[in-house]
Amino acid sequence: MEILNSKSYWDRQTWFTTNDFIIIGSGIVGINTALTLREKFPKATITILERGPWPQGASTKNAGFACLGSISELLKDFKTHSSEDIFKLVEKRVLGLERLRNIVGDDHLEYKQLGGYEVFLRKHKALLEKSLDHLNEINDLLYSLYKAPLFSVTENTFGFSGINSKLIVNAFEGQLNTGKMMQALINKTQDANITILNNCNVNEYVEQHTNVLLQTNLGDFKTKTLLIATNGFSEQLKISNVKPGRAQVIITKPIKNLNIKGTFHIDEGYFYFRNVGNRLLFGGGRNLALKEEETTNFGETELIQSTLDTYLKSHILPKTPYEIDMRWSGILGVGNQKKPILKKVSKNVYCGVRLGGMGVAIGSLVGKDLANLATE
C-alpha cells in the first residue's frame, strides 16, 4: 500500500502522464492492438494495463489449435449464421493465422501443420452422417480460401476406441506453442516502446471532456483514447452481449511412442485434444454445465474433470499407459454469435471482445481492426 501512496514527480511524469492510448488487457487482442497503434503512431504514448502478473484470461491458457473450425461445428453455426457469415468467419480465421504467423514467425510459434481431425464417438453416428452429407457443400463454400477442398474422409489409424471408423480431416489445420506465442508478442511490445503495467486492475472508467479517466488499484490513469480488450471479463466494464465461459484442460506426462499427432475435435468442437510433443492435451466439456461454467473464476469441477478422464481412458488412450500431469482452466468470452464485438462504446472508448474459442486464429486481426476502428 505504501508503495502506491508514494508516487514521485518522475512516476507521475512517466507512468501517470495522460497517455495517447490505453489498452485494458494484455491478451492476444490487447497486444496486437498496441502493436498496430505503434505502427500507425510511432511517437504516441501507449500503455497496456493488465490485472494479472502475466495475461490471465484465455491467451496463455488455451490449447494452441491454429484451426478453422471442425465440420460439425461449422454445421452447428449454420443454425445461427448465414452461409455468407460462415464464409467470412472462416476467412477471418485464415487471414488471422496468416497475420499471426507473419508477426511472430513459425519458429517462435513452434507452428506445425499436422492436420486437424474430427472424431465421432459411436453415440454421435447421426452427427457423422450429417457431416458426411454436407461435406461437399461446405467444401464448395470454402473452396476459394485454399483453392482446394478443406475437408476429406479418412480412417482411424490412431487406436481410438468406441468411435466411428471414419474421421474427417482438414489437412490445413496446425498447432502452436501458446506460451511461446504470448512471450514473443510481449517481447515485441517492449521492442516497440509500449508499456505493460501488470497487477493493475481497472475498476471502472469515466469519460471526461477530452480524456478518459481510469480508476485502478494503482491509482488513476488518463488517456485520450481507451481500447478495451478484456474478452470474457468485459461485463465488469459494462460491455454487453459477452459472457464468460470457463474452459477446463488436462495434460498428460510424456508418453512413450505416442502415435497421436495433430489436432482433434469431438462433438461440435466441445471437446478437443492434441499432442504437445509426446504429451496429450485434452480439454472441453463446457457444454455439460453451461450455466455453472459461465463464470470468471478459474477452477476445475468434478463433473468436467471426471468426464475428461473417462473420455481419455476409454476413447483416446484406451491401451496406452499414461499419467495426468496438470489440470487448469481459462476464461473464454462467448455469446450467441461467433462474430467478435468490435465497436465504439462511447466518445473515446472502443472495444474488441468476444473471441469465443477461436482467439488464437482471429486475435491478431481483431487487435488490428480495433486499433484501426479507434483511429480512423
Compare residues 163 and 341 and give the one whose CB is closer to ligand FAD: 341
Contacts with ligand FAD in 291-320 (CB under 6 A)?
none
Show the site string, 242-261: x = touches ligand FAD by CB under 6 A, - = not. Answer: -----x-x------------
DSSP 194-208: -EEE-S--EEEEEE-
Q: Which of 264, 300, 259, 293 is nearest to 281 (CA)?
A: 264
Which whole-number Å values give the CA distances from 241 to 74, 232, 268, in the listed order? 21, 11, 22
Q: Does 160 interact with ligand FAD (rule: CB under 6 A)?
A: no
Closest distance to ligand FAD from the beta carbon of 200 (Å): 6
Which whole-number Å values give the CA distances from 245 to 14, 35, 58, 274, 299, in the listed order? 37, 27, 10, 21, 12
Closest distance to ligand FAD from the beta carbon of 244 (Å): 9
Q: Does 350 interact with ligand FAD (rule: CB under 6 A)?
A: no
Give the sign of the dihedral formed by CA 355, CA 249, CA 114, CA 69. negative
Question: In degrees rounded to 5, what are phi and psi of residue 32?
Answer: -70, -30
Q: Does 56 interact with ligand FAD (rule: CB under 6 A)?
A: yes
Q: Does 232 interact with ligand FAD (rule: CB under 6 A)?
A: yes
Q: Does 23 interact with ligand FAD (rule: CB under 6 A)?
A: no
Compare residues 164 and 260 and give the one whose CB is closer to ligand FAD: 260
Q: Which of 237, 263, 245 is nearest to 175 (CA)?
A: 263
Compare residues 161 and 301 and give the one whose CB is closer to ligand FAD: 301
Q: Which three cell numbers stand for residue 31?
A: 497486444
User: Binding residues for ligand FAD, how many (CB under 6 A)?
Assistant: 43
Q: Does 201 interact with ligand FAD (rule: CB under 6 A)?
A: yes
**How far apart (Å, rounded) are the C-alpha atoms in residues 363 and 298?**
21
Q: Which helix (H) or strand (E) holds 179?
A: helix 178-191
Which residue among 24, 251, 349, 365 contacts ligand FAD (CB under 6 A)?
A: 24
Q: Which helix (H) or strand (E) holds 284?
A: strand 279-284
Beta-strand ranges (E) seen in 25-173 are: 46-49, 65-66, 116-119, 151-155, 166-170
Closest distance to ligand FAD from the beta carbon of 293 (Å): 11
The most distant pair of C-alpha atoms in the chain lies apart, rounded to whole Å, by: 69
Q: Does 38 interact with ligand FAD (rule: CB under 6 A)?
A: no
Show the site string, 60-99: x = touches ligand FAD by CB under 6 A, - = not. Answer: -xxxxx-x--------------------------------
Give the sign of the dihedral formed by CA 62, CA 64, CA 66, CA 68. negative
Q: Does 50 interact with ligand FAD (rule: CB under 6 A)?
A: yes
CA 188 to chain centre: 19
Compare residues 136 and 306 and give the one whose CB is closer to ligand FAD: 306
User: Judged by CB under 6 A, which stretch of 19-27, 69-77, 104-112, 118-126 contacts ligand FAD?
Assistant: 19-27
Closest distance to ligand FAD from the beta carbon of 354 (Å): 8
Closest distance to ligand FAD from the beta carbon of 203 (Å): 7
Q: Does 116 interact with ligand FAD (rule: CB under 6 A)?
A: no
Return residues touching ligand FAD (CB under 6 A): 24-30, 49-52, 55-59, 61-65, 67, 201-202, 229-233, 236-237, 247, 249, 283, 330, 332, 355, 357-361, 363
